[in-house]
Amino acid sequence: MVACGLQDEQRRKWVEYIKDMMEEGTRVILRLPRIRQAIICYPEPLLWLNSRRTELEMLELEWLNRHARCMDENDEYDDTDIILQAICMRQIEILREVIQRMFIEGSAVNYRDSDEILRRILM
């Protein structure tokens, strides 16, 4: 800010503005008119993805809980546990749905890297 030659009052306003944006967190993107318009005009894709993300988060928590219960004294777990298998299958189904929708909507994402897509969803 010093290099830009801003006056003290201008710097104070900028710092306050940036601080407000940081406190606002991810909602700050709603300040961008095109993003806000896309969400308002086409809420269905966002709601759909949000429901898949929520389900994936719940499945991940359940998997971690179940995985811990299935571990033995050697820190190995029984991968034949039917509940763990069911959780993994549902996660794969959801991920396939998301990847398919991304492909249909023309997203420029490497569809073969499903682990990266899952990581970004749960980020």
The 10s digit of each residue's pLDDT in 19-74 is 887 887 777 777 778 777 777 777 788 788 889 999 999 999 999 998 888 877 77
Is the same domain home to 26 and 48?
no
Cβ distance 91 to 57 under 8 Å? Answer: no
Distance between CA atoms of 98 and 28, rounded to whole angstroms? 25
pTM over 0.95? The answer is no
Which among 112, 117, 62, 110 has a CA at the least distance from the CA of 89? 62
> In 25-113, where does DSSP find H-type helix?
33-41, 43-69, 82-104
Considering the domain architecture, whether residues 46 and 84 belong to the same structural domain is answered as yes
Residues 31 and 58 occupy one common structural domain: no
Judge if 47 and 88 occupy the same domain: yes
**Cα angle 60-115-45, degrees, rounded to a multiple of 5:** 75
One domain for residues 89 and 114: yes
Q: Which domain range does residue 13 map to?
A: 1-41
- Report the domain count for the chain: 2
Q: What is the pLDDT of residue 27?
A: 74
